[in-house]
Amino acid sequence: MSPLHHHFQKKGYHEAKIVTRFWIIQVMLVVICLVTLKLR
């Protein structure tokens, strides 16, 4: 478990909520990276 993940758990967020948000952020960053690669 990453320190950031553990930090959110200690604040009271549920495990599934943390993982879901990390996945959404990851997908958005991948899309941004692919778009910027296509622009070159």
pLDDT at residue 40 above 70? no
CA 10, CA 39: separation in Å to the nearest integer? Answer: 41
The string of DSSP codes covering 21-34 is HHHHHHHHHHHHHH
- The pLDDT of residue 1 is 66
In sequence order, what are the residues at sequence separation of 6 or more whose Cβ sits closer than 8 angstroms to the Cβ of residue 4?
Answer: none
Q: What is the pLDDT of residues 6-37, one digit of tens each?
A: 888 899 989 999 999 999 999 999 999 999 98
Residue labelled with tokens 């959404």: 24
Provide the residue type at 24 as one letter. Answer: I
